[in-house]
Amino acid sequence: MSAPLKFDYVYKNNDEAGTILHEVVTLDEIQTDEFVYELEIIARRLFTGLQDMTGADIFDGDYLEYVSPFEYEEPRRYLYVVEWVDFGFEARWINPPSANFRSDGHLSLQGADEDMRIIGNRFEHPDLLEARS
Locate the domains of the chain by residue range.
Answer: 6-132
Mean pLDDT in residue range 110-128:
86
Mean pLDDT in residue range 18-28:
82
Rounded to whole angstroms, the Cα distance separating 13 from 3 reads 30
Cβ neighbours of 7 (radius 10 Å): 20
**Each residue of 48-84: pLDDT tens digit?**
999 999 999 999 999 999 887 776 656 667 888 999 8
- The predicted structure's pLDDT at residue 2: 57
Contact 74, 95 (CB under 8 A): no
Contact 109, 58 (CB under 8 A): yes
pTM of the model: 0.69
Contact 46, 60 (CB under 8 A): yes
**Helix ranges (DSSP H) in 31-76:** none
